[in-house]
Structure 1
Amino acid sequence: MDVSPQYRKAWEGFWSATSDAPGEAIWDSDPSLTAVPHSELLLPYADTALPVVDLGCGNGTQTRYLATVFARALGVDLSDAAIGHAQRADTAGVAEFAQLDLVDADAVRALSERIGDTNVYMRAVIHQSEPEARPAVAAAVAALIGERGRAFVVELTPASKDLLQKVAEARGGPPPKLRRVIEHGLKPADASEEEVPGLLRAAGLTILADGDTALAQTEHLPDGTRIDLPARWFVLAPAG
């Protein structure tokens, strides 16, 4: 199974039209607001001697931080253009980056065989995936952690969709960074409240801890308020 050509084209188009400037993508927030607190939630459960794979790494901002916490960090993304951004930004060569379609079970299996059991970091991937592809994305997390790895998964909730719609419909229309997401046909916060934990459990994952949070964006409202999107996080282990 692979993602649809339309989905692949949407992401390739978005990243191809994005510059290397930090924060140009609406979700490209500073690690102090994302990977740092997320790692603090994961670390009590994870072996940092194992690698970490950042699924849907985009331009690699969070991956580069994760490389300071875990023995080895690899960022993967569907988009070749995103991987290009990540490689150019990693001037110190602290992480590795590679193109990967999470829905391609054979490609995921090959990565697992190459690196062994690994920790996984996945921020806001399931919610914007095509509905028919979401079980495969969850299965990729399970396949990669193997027996010894742990995963941190955080996904937008439907409340984020409501907030984004309100922002988009405000006077003056959506702010520039949100407009780019919409224009490229990307669909944030498209999963229901219970869909994500259900998919994770169905993939053979046990939820060790979970909670509510907000994902900081790099876009602001006209009054200067940063857009923070409601989300839910999960720390996961293999079932059994």
Structure 2
Amino acid sequence: MNTALRQGWEAYWDEIAKAGETALWDSPSATAAAIHLRRVEQHIDPALPMIDLGCGSGRQTVRLAESCNRVIGIDIAEHALAIARRDNAAANIEYRRIDLLDDTEVAALAAELGDANVYVRGVLHQLLPDAQQRAVWAIGALLAGRGHLIAHELTSVTRWVVRSIIESEGAALEKFEPLQRHFGFDIPTVPGEERQLDALLTRQGLQVVASGDDSLQTTQLGADGAAIELPTAWALARRPHVVHPR
């Protein structure tokens, strides 16, 4: 992982913890993981370990643990994991600091777990194109033969929506402020129009089983008092089945 990005996330989660706040995307799991799981439940084997990649505070992780036998929440920020262990613990959840772009760490996790499902919500868009490709390769290694990826990502459209919201509502958007301060809003995004998330996954050898448009309900209230929603793209993917000739 880019060192500056890792340091940025440590600083962000440290600030969130000290302020006793929630992150912009820490919406109730009923509006996120619960919906995502229902959408793909016919494809997912709950007996396989579920990896919550970029688990943050663990708010979605604990919902995954209600449907899956074993869940491993991973993040690069120890401050995020400390919040998760404190606020969203369960008997079948483990939280670990793992860098998805560290080949050694990923290989060790893949060897330990075998086939696994992966849930990723708003992680790939943070990475530069080369790192996005490496991340998807790493996810493929974790899926192995029977696992599925459930991906929900911001899109290039999201960036313009955020800028428009900030211009119209400005300083009232306190949840956006620390993100803008630590990261800005020019981080490259996985372009989501016309199924470009699908294209990212298929270029790295994954098979997209289903996909579509979605939205992320944030913890930020707009001027009208309603939670602000941001456009996202979603995809369910797996490694292709290989039929060996006799």
Give the TM-score category using the shorter length.
over 0.9
Q: Does the Cα contact within 8 Å between 1:22 and 1:28 map onto a contact in 2?
A: no
Q: Does the Cα contact within 8 Å between 2:61 and 2:73 map onto a contact in 1?
A: yes
Residue 75 of structure 1: aligned partner = 73
Residue 226 of structure 1: aligned partner = 227
Gaps of 5+ in 2: 242-246
How many pairs align?
Answer: 238
Residue 108 of structure 1: aligned partner = 106
Q: Quick check: 1:192 aligned with 2:200?
A: no
- Percent identical pairs in the alignment equals 32
Per-residue deviation, 1:170: 2.1
Q: Does the Cα contact within 8 Å between 1:23 and 1:29 map onto a contact in 2?
A: no
Q: Does the Cα contact within 8 Å between 2:65 and 2:90 map onto a contact in 1?
A: no
Per-residue deviation, 1:174: 5.7
Per-residue deviation, 1:237: 1.2
Per-residue deviation, 1:229: 0.8
Q: Does the Cα contact within 8 Å between 1:211 and 1:233 map onto a contact in 2?
A: yes
Per-residue deviation, 1:21: 8.1
Per-residue deviation, 1:5: 1.6
Per-residue deviation, 1:129: 1.9
The within-5 A match list for 1:7-18 is 7-18=5-16
Per-residue deviation, 1:137: 1.3
Q: Does the Cα contact within 8 Å between 1:212 and 1:232 map onto a contact in 2?
A: yes
Gaps of 5+ in 1: none
Residue 244 of structure 2: aligned partner = none
Q: Quick check: 1:216 aligned with 2:217?
A: yes
Q: Does the Cα contact within 8 Å between 1:160 and 1:189 map onto a contact in 2?
A: no
TM, length-normalised to structure 1? 0.93
Alpha-carbon distance change, 23 to 37 in structure 1, aligned in 2, over 3 angstroms: farther
Secondary structure in structure 1 of the residue aligned to 2:175 = helix
Alpha-carbon distance change, 22 to 207 in structure 1, aligned in 2, over 3 angstroms: farther
Q: Which amino acid aligns with 1:190?
A: T
Structure with greater helix share of residues: 2
Alpha-carbon distance change, 218 to 189 in structure 1, aligned in 2, over 3 angstroms: farther
The within-5 A match list for 1:41-80 is 41-80=39-78
